[in-house]
Amino acid sequence: MRSRLVNVIGQSIHMSEVRWSGRQPPILTKQQNYRMWQGGEFGNKLRSWRTVDEWRASGFAGKVVLRTLMQGGGPCRYGLGHGEVDGVVASWLADGIPRDRIMVNEEAPCGEEILQGEYLEDIFVIDGEASWGYFLHSRARTQMRDALRRAPEVAWGLRADMMLRQAMTPSSYEDWRLLLDRHGGHVLEVSVYGHCLGNIPGRNALVWEVRKY
């Protein structure tokens, strides 16, 4: 069994890389993650379009987010109106980003988050005690990147699980537990809102990313 050391907000966590029998194959690239996310494999989601042309053909008039399917990250623009998309796309193309690596999704309602963060579904040892489920989170009501920078908190084990269970609707929590069972050893990015939203009724949580990269 191989071990690695991970630092989260200045804390050293000794983690074990174990074989998760019966789990889904690891998600090792951003392209793989977005393909699964867009296909609905992570459950509830907002509207999304694999290409700019698909978004334009849909006639959707609300605010959108432009993302790039580049390994290791890439530019992302939030809150774009219909008339702003083409300018951003042109700028990215000029910077060398391939057009087929640009995707569009409906923008989530900023300011309505009640809990969000990155949940590591793994077994680890912290302060000499074995535990599971390390949750780097924030209750700041803004986009996740800003929220985790402004007001980060940490929880693990039963406390992390109870926080998520209390924030989610019963259906969202059931979906969440299923994802954890399927994707052990991964980080799951999740946002929980104060009301239901998305394409599946009765859900108030959105899982944005499941990754092991």
Query: 59 in the Ramachandran plot: left (φ > 0), alpha (ψ -120 to 50) or beta?
Result: left
| DSSP-derived secondary structure for 136-197 | EEE--SS-HHHHHHHS-EEEEHHHHHHHHHHHS-HHHHHHHHHHHHHSTT-EEEEEEESS--
Of 6, 46, 4, 2, whose CA–CA distance to 136 is shortest? 6
| DSSP-derived secondary structure for 15-75 | EEE---TTPPPP--SHHHHHHHHHTTTTS----EESSHHHHHHHT--S-EEEEE--TT---
Q: From first to last of its 213 residues, what are the pLDDT tens digits of the chain?
A: 223 324 444 444 443 333 333 478 999 988 899 889 989 999 999 999 999 999 999 999 999 999 988 766 678 999 999 999 999 999 999 999 999 999 999 999 999 999 999 999 998 887 888 889 999 999 999 989 999 999 999 999 999 999 999 999 999 999 999 999 999 999 999 999 999 999 999 999 999 999 998
